[in-house]
Structure 1
Amino acid sequence: MADYWDHGGVRYAIQSIYSLPDDAWCFELSRARPDPQTTQGWLPGNAVVFALVPDEDLSLEPTIHFDAKELDLPLAVLARFMEIVTAEAERCRAALLEAAVPADRNGPG
């Protein structure tokens, strides 16, 4: 599933998928393209930036990868992408830390 938004007259897409080989969420930022199967739909284009957010190992850090040959990005578009990736990284890290706490330290319940 992709989320779409417009900036400066251009529609962008952020798509997230789980990468089993990496044990990480992968977020891809692209310029959206019209869906040839519909008259109103959109599809993600080729990824310009993608981020891997590990959710199985606290020792691994999220990483960002760029494909600079695709297109230039406005700073506001990249900032929005980074906000989404940062929020997901914080969510994954919190879930891992919570899972690492022994049951007797979780308090009553």
Structure 2
Amino acid sequence: MAFPHPDGAYAITTMYSVPDDAWYVELGLVAGQRNLVTAIVPDEDPAREPTVCLEPRGPHVDVP
């Protein structure tokens, strides 16, 4: 499910991955159609730590 920012420049997308038992939350740049940040948040095993992945390709983007 995608949640657009009120100004329309960014969107947050969430989905649940059953094989991973984790939520995937992505912050994307709508105009460039690229993900800036992906967070993987496990919810079944409290010993597993969340993971944050930053998009290394493309120009630097300041996120408000």
- With the shorter chain as reference, the TM-score category is 0.7 to 0.9
More strand by share: 2
Gaps of 5+ in 1: 34-44, 77-109
CA distance in 2, matches of 1:71, 1:31: 12
Task: Tell me which amino acid in the other structure corresponds to 2:45.
Answer: D
Point out 4+ residue stretches in structure 1 off by more than 4 angstroms: none
Assess if the C-alpha contact under 8 Å between 1:30 and 1:46 holds in 2. Answer: yes
More helix by share: 1
Offset of 1:21 from its aligned partner?
2.2
TM-score, normalising length: structure 1: 0.50
Matched, 1:67 2:40: no
Give the superposed CA RMSD. 1.7
Gaps of 5+ in 2: none
Offset of 1:28 from its aligned partner?
0.7
Equivalent positions of 1:1-80 (< 5 A) are: 1-5=1-5, 6=7, 11-33=9-31, 45-76=33-64
Larger Rg belongs to: 1
TM-score, normalising length: structure 2: 0.80
Identity of aligned residues (%): 40
